[in-house]
Chains A and B, each alone.
Chain A
Amino acid sequence: MKPFNDKLKSVALVRMDRIGDFLLWLSAAKFYRQYFSSSKIVFFANEVFASLARKFPYWDQVITVSVPDSTSAVCSLSKFEEFDLAINLHFSRTFTQDSFLGAIPAKRRIAVRIQGPNMNCEQYRLGNSIYSDLIDLDLEPKHELQRNFDIMNLITGLGQSAQLEDLRGRFSSSALSLPKKYAAVFPSASWKERAYPWPRLLGILKSLWEEHGILSVILGGKEDKVLGANIHRNAMEFTLDLCGKQSLEESLFLIQGSQLVIANDSMAAHAANFLSKPSVCIVGGGYHVSEKEGRFFPYPKKLISEDLQISLRYPIACEGCNNLCRYADTIGDCLPCIDYISAELVSASVKKVVKSSKSGQGMHQ
């Protein structure tokens, strides 16, 4: 595929997925700016990270898109003149994204030629008809960060190798007075059943406090308030519940100031890597993981030191289901591939991370 003309008048970039996906793509975003330096770039961003996106200088305008109901964003499109190019940046396309891209007035629209796991054949066929250009990617298992660079390189022809955006020092201080040593704990996940059972975290947080004097700050969105309150209620002396009380940027600031991060496969674990904070991430079996890297976790070793990230997973037989869990209707609170990760293993990993953070190993490479 030939790279696009870099002298376009206007370019629309569209990302409608979650915060973690946005962070993973951020490293590639600056190269779009670099390539389309003379173009007006409008970034259509999911409302969950639109405010964060405005902090970055890679676009001229950020338009908030509510997902899945993007009606108001679609209405706002009438304000725009026809874009020269509209880019669907997602590797896993959905029909909602395709519909939205179709609604953007643009001379050319571009997306990957891959049927996402969340769309059926008819949606894929219809979705394809929206685009003027479809990018062919190799389907070898890769880390998502690498995948974002592949898409960017095919569009721009820049030939950049994958790299990690260093987000340290970007977030302003919070008014909160926190202890010097604390762990940022994100017990939730966008899909509740993908979160590690919170009762098992208590023993781990207790030993963090008793053995290392590290207080656990429980963080999460407004929808995680119940979860945060439950943890705090059972561990008042060594936890601080800030669930639903912090904005995204404040949460990132808190990650930046923490000793370590304990999280599920969520935004927080990605942010920890981008902020060079040691983390323990509990990953489900939704995606295949090779010894070197996963689709999301762990990150490739060439990008981040092993000491900074511990990804825990249970090698279940149905691994690689793309989170279309066959047990979703029968399970209670937790997906089996998360449930079977023992509290002892999580605890040992946390201890290992604390030890490595004390010795100051594993900074950005």
Chain B
Amino acid sequence: MISQLKQLEERLLSIGPRLLKLTKQIRDLHRKVGVGNFYLRFIQVFGEQKKRGAVGFLKTLIRLVVPSGSVLDELIIKPLNFRRKKRSSIYLPGVILGPLKYVPRDGGLFSVFNFMVSEMYLGRKVYPLFSIEEIKKANKKNGPIVHFAYLSKNCSNSWFEFFEPIEYFPGDDTHLKTFELADLPSSSGELGAPEFRWPSASLKLYTRPDFADWRLSVNRVVANKIKLKKNLKMEVEKILEGMSGRRIGVHIRHPSHFVEQGNVFFETYFSKIDKLIEKYPTYSIFLATDNELAIAAFIKKYGHQNLHYYPDFIRESIDDVLRWAYSLSRGKSDEMGLVEGVGFQTHYKLAASGFGERGIQAGREAVIDVFTLIGCDDFVCTVSNFTLTSSFMNPSLDLHLVSAGA
């Protein structure tokens, strides 16, 4: 019977699909010969195989033959038992909640904004400090600044060109003391939740059934702290007042964003908007875009009467868009939309030309565009930081996503 048992155990190790049946037979044999419950370890091996796949199976198998506390245990089992644990950001040792200066990463304005919100949502007290010295200091290792163009030598903190100072409690004037702020520990949003930081996680968030809860929850934390600068607010209110009926906001990005949002065509936007128009025959469309091609396409489709946009904003011309298209015939686009290292979106050009009033102007325009979208009833959008910001700044805004990501 013992030899029969050994034979079966050997077969058990070599034959995968019949494992279940064999373990049962072994169990019965073990019962009869009274060899304890070794079979159960095999059942566990089987369980591990089902649960963790081949690696789990092998690990448990090795565990069976290597005696606990032996040299082999030290050499094989302990290193194998190391499990890759997800590093959870706020559990890292020595996290300071604030006050902190929030220095922009070299990213887009609303990417930087969302990173900052992620930290506020976490519970950190961050005060944005948008200055050339700070961003250069923080991004020293990464070379020249290529994305974040919204700075000027004339502004010690260009945040105040766009937003009011942030207050965490009544009478909080920390943000206004620029020099003292510069001495605070720094943060660039690296501790925030993935939803705020990674396009793929944001995309997953949009389809989560708890997305509405998430929007409300974030809004509750940040909406009373982030306030638009008065002059910008007036501009937003002015255009919104002029929009009658259902307000449909649309955001069309430079086509080089296909690397994040996938290929989205005007007809996709139009079909979504047309469905909304069918539902709400009295409507106005607000178009936020960084290129004139989109404006031309929308005027052709919807005419001037129902279409609203800020006419004098800095945008790429139709020829600029064509230049980008031609460049693609000669080179390849990277994951940021740069073709052979050349950026075709407005902010790349502004950053490359050095910081100045045009950078601040572009920042103001981006902020006005986003907050006008936030004031709409519907938002036809793609995967972008504009969409994410709008989602939590106005939790009742109806989002209509036209892209499913790249």
Contact = CB atoms under 8 A, between A and B. Distances in A.
A70 B90 CA distance: 33
Interface in A73-102: 74, 77-78, 95-96, 99-100, 102
Contacts of B214: 336, 340
Interface string B245-262: 000000000000000000
A339 to B, nearest CB: 7
B208 A327 contact: yes
Contact of B193 (A72, A234, A317, A333): A333
A153 to B, nearest CB: 30
B8 interface: no
A307 interface: no
A342 B121 CA distance: 11
A331 B193 contact: yes
A71 B40 contact: no
Interface string B160-195: 000000000000000000000000000000001111
Contacts of B124: 199
B123 A197 contact: yes
Nearest to B98: A234
B47 to A, nearest CB: 5
B133 interface: no
B96 A233 contact: yes
A333 B91 contact: yes
Nearest to A337: B210
B91 A230 contact: yes
Interface string B82-111: 000000111111111100000000000000
Given A230-B90, A233-B96, A340-B213, A123 B40 contact: no
Interface string B200-216: 01001100111001101
Contacts of A200: 123
Interface residues of B, number: 44
Contact of B97 (A202, A226, A229, A332): A202
Interface residues of A, number: 44
Contacts of A192: 88, 91
A324 to B, nearest CB: 13
B316 to A, nearest CB: 34
Contacts of B91: 192, 226-227, 230, 333
B37 A317 contact: no
B36 interface: yes
Nearest to B208: A327
A178 interface: no
Given A102-B37, A202-B123, A230 B94 contact: yes
Given A331-B193, A333-B88, A333-B89, A316 B210 contact: yes
B37 A74 contact: yes
B40 A199 contact: no
A332 B40 contact: no
Contacts of B205: 330
Given A99-B44, A102-B40, A122-B50, A314 B90 contact: no
A119 B378 CA distance: 45
A158 to B, nearest CB: 31
A303 interface: no
Nearest to B124: A199
B64 to A, nearest CB: 9
A190 interface: no
B24 interface: yes
A193 B88 contact: yes
A318 B91 CA distance: 26
A290 interface: no
A234 to B, nearest CB: 5
A336 B68 CA distance: 40
Given A316-B210, A340-B217, A332 B195 contact: yes
A103 interface: yes
Contacts of B51: 120
Contacts of A99: 40-41, 43-44, 47
A200 B217 CA distance: 13
A74 B39 CA distance: 12
Contacts of B209: 317-318
B210 A318 contact: yes
Nearest to A285: B210
A277 to B, nearest CB: 27
Given A71-B68, A342-B220, A229 B93 contact: yes
B44 A78 contact: no
Interface string B13-44: 00000001001100100000000110011011
Contact of B43 (A120, A126, A226, A336): A126
B5 interface: no
A198 interface: yes
B220 A332 contact: no
A10 B95 CA distance: 53
Nearest to B67: A71
A322 interface: no
Interface in A199-251: 199-200, 202, 226-227, 229-230, 233-234
B321 interface: no
Contacts of A102: 37, 40, 43
Nearest to B39: A102
Contacts of B208: 327, 330, 336
A356 interface: no
A227 to B, nearest CB: 6
Contacts of B23: 126
A202 B192 CA distance: 18
Contacts of B95: 199, 230, 233-234
Closest 10 CB pairs of A and B: A199-B123, A332-B193, A103-B37, A99-B40, A340-B217, A234-B97, A226-B93, A102-B40, A333-B90, A317-B209
30 contacts: A69-B63, A71-B63, A72-B68, A99-B40, A99-B47, A102-B40, A103-B40, A120-B50, A129-B27, A192-B88, A192-B91, A197-B122, A198-B123, A199-B124, A202-B123, A227-B91, A230-B91, A230-B93, A230-B94, A234-B95, A317-B209, A327-B210, A330-B204, A332-B194, A333-B90, A333-B122, A336-B210, A339-B217, A340-B216, A343-B123
Interface of A: 69, 71-72, 74, 77-78, 95-96, 99-100, 102-103, 120, 122-123, 126, 129, 192-193, 197-200, 202, 226-227, 229-230, 233-234, 314, 316-318, 327, 330-333, 336, 339-340, 342-343
Given A99-B47, A229-B94, 18 more contacts: A71-B68, A72-B68, A95-B43, A95-B44, A95-B47, A99-B41, A120-B50, A122-B20, A198-B90, A230-B90, A230-B93, A316-B210, A317-B210, A327-B210, A332-B89, A332-B192, A339-B217, A340-B214
